[in-house]
A and B are shown apart, each in its own frame.
Chain A
Amino acid sequence: MSLWEYANPVKFMLLSGRILPFLTGVTAFCLLGGLATGFFDTPDDYRMGSTAKILYVHVPAAMMAINAWAMMFVASLIWLIRRHHVSALAAKAAAPIGATFTLIALITGAIWGEPMWGSWWEWDPRLTSFLILFLFYLGYIALWQAIDDPDKAADLTAILCLIGSVFALLSRYAVLFWSQGLHQGASLSLDKDQHVANVFYQPLLLSIAGFVLLFVTLVLFRTRSEIRARRIRSLQMATNA
C-alpha cells in the first residue's frame, strides 16, 4: 500500500468522494470564519486604518496563487515521469483556481494600493511578477483547451508548466533589477519579532488555512470532473466506433 495507489482513477474517485463532503465543511468553516473575524473583529491598524482588513484576503490569495503553480509543477513532473493520468488532470484542474487566486491578489492589492500608495497600480517588482504569473496561467489554460488529444495535451502542458516555472522565477529576479520595490516584505515569518501582531495574526492564519483548504477541495472536485469527462470521451468513442 503506497501513495501511488491513489493514482488509479477508480481508487481516486472512491477516496475523494468519501473525503470531499468533510473537506467542504472544514473549508467553509475556516474560510468564512477567517474572513468574518478578519472583517468584523480586528482593530484598525494605526497607519493603514481599516484597509488592514483587506490583507485577510490579499495575503492568502497571493500565497495560494504561487503555491497553486508549485502544485501544478509537481503534478506535471509526476505525469511526465510516472505517467499517472490523475496527476495530469489534477494539474489541469488546478490552473483556473490558481488564475482566480492571482486575479484576487491583484484586484485586492489594487484596491489597497489606491489609498495607501495613492495609485491603483504601481510598476513594482512584486506586482509585475504577479501580472506575469497571471499571463502564464492564461497561456497554460489556453494550451489545454487548444489540443484535442488528451494525452498529448497533458504532455505539452506539462512541458509548458516546467518551462513556465523556470521563467516565472527568472522574471521574478529580472524585475527586481528593473525597478525598485514599493511593496513591503513578507508579513509572516517564523521569527516572532518579524511578523504582525497577534490580533492580526490569528484571523490571518485562519483565512490562510481557509484558502489552502479551498484550493485542495476545489482541485479534488475539479479533478473528479476531469476524470468523468475523460470517461465520457472514451464511452463516446466506444459507441461511435
Chain B
Amino acid sequence: MIALLKRELTLALRNGGGAGLGLAFFLIVTILVPLGVGPDTAILAKIAPGTLWIGALLACLLSLDRLFQPDFEDGTLDLLALSPLPLEAIAATKALAHWLTTGLPLVIAAPILALTLHLPAQAYTTLILSLLIGTPALSFLGTIGAALTIGIKRGGLLLSLLVLPLYVPTLIFSARAVTLAAEGQSATAALLFLSATSLFILALAPFTAAATLRIHLN
C-alpha cells in the first residue's frame, strides 16, 4: 500500500500536473472573483468563505479524470486488482494520493488567498480546520466519480456533473462554518456536522469505488 502511495505521488509530481495545476487553478478562481465582484472590501470579506471553498472544489475536480483512466488503459489496474491488496485499499490509496497532491496544497494556500479577500482574522483557524476536514472528502468522493466515468470519451464534463452534486453537503457545512466564524459566532456545530459528513464519506467511498472498478474489470 505504501509502495502504491509512493508510486502515485511520484507520478503526480513528475507529470507536474496534479499539484501545480490544481493550485494555479485555485489561485485564478479566487483572483477572478474580486475582478467580477469589484474591490469593495466589505463585500469581499462576506463572500470570502464561499469563494475559497468553491475554488477548492473546482480545483479538486480538475485532476480527477486522470485518477483511474491511465491505469485502466495501460492495464495497470488489472495488475493491481490481481495483487493481494484489496481493491478497496487501492481506491483509498488513490484517494489519499490525490488529496496529498491537490487537497493539501490548497489547505496551505487558502490562508494566503484569504488575506487578499479580507477574511476577518478570527475565521482563519476555522478556515484551515474546515479545509483539513473537508478536502479529503472531496478526493474520496472524486474516486467514485472517476471510477464511474472510466472509458467514457470526454468523461471530464460528465464527471463534473456527477461529482459536483455529491459535494453539496460538504460545501454547505464547511462554508457555513467559516462564515459563522467570520461573523464572530461559534462554528463548532457546523464543524462537527462537517466532520460527520467527511467520516461517513471516507468510510463509504472506497467500497463504492472498488465495486465500480470491479464492474469495469469484469
Contacts and interface: CB of A to CB of B under 8 A. Distances in A.
Contacts of A177: 172-173, 176, 190, 193
Contacts of B176: 177-178
Interface string B20-51: 00000000000000000000000000000000
Contacts of B152: 146-147
Given A159-B211, A163-B144, A170-B197, A178 B162 contact: no
Contacts, number: 70
Interface string A148-192: 000010011001100110110011001101100000000000000
B179 to A, nearest CB: 10
A132 B161 CA distance: 11
A164 B153 CA distance: 23
B148 A171 contact: no
Contacts of A152: 215-216
Given A156-B212, A159-B211, A139 B172 contact: no
A174 B172 contact: yes
B155 interface: yes
A159 B212 contact: yes
Interface residues of B, number: 27
B155 A171 contact: no
Interface string A107-147: 00000000000000000000000001001101100110011
Interface residues of A, number: 24
Nearest to A141: B161
Contact of B162 (A132, A143, A166): A143
Contact of A160 (B153, B162, B173, B197): B162
A170 B165 CA distance: 11
Given A159-B148, A163-B166, A163-B208, A146 B161 contact: no
Kindly name the residue among B144, B153, B166, B193 whose own CB sees the greatest number of chain A CB atoms within 10 A. B166
Contacts of B193: 174, 177
Interface in B82-119: none
Contacts of A167: 165-166, 168-169
Contacts of A135: 161, 164-165
B54 interface: no
B173 A139 contact: no
A90 B149 CA distance: 22
B158 interface: yes
Nearest to B150: A156
B49 to A, nearest CB: 12
Interface in B183-206: 190, 193, 197, 204
A39 B188 CA distance: 50
A63 to B, nearest CB: 21
5 contacts: A138-B161, A139-B161, A147-B151, A171-B172, A175-B172
**Smallest CB-CB A-B distances: 5 pairs:** A174-B169, A174-B172, A155-B215, A135-B165, A171-B168
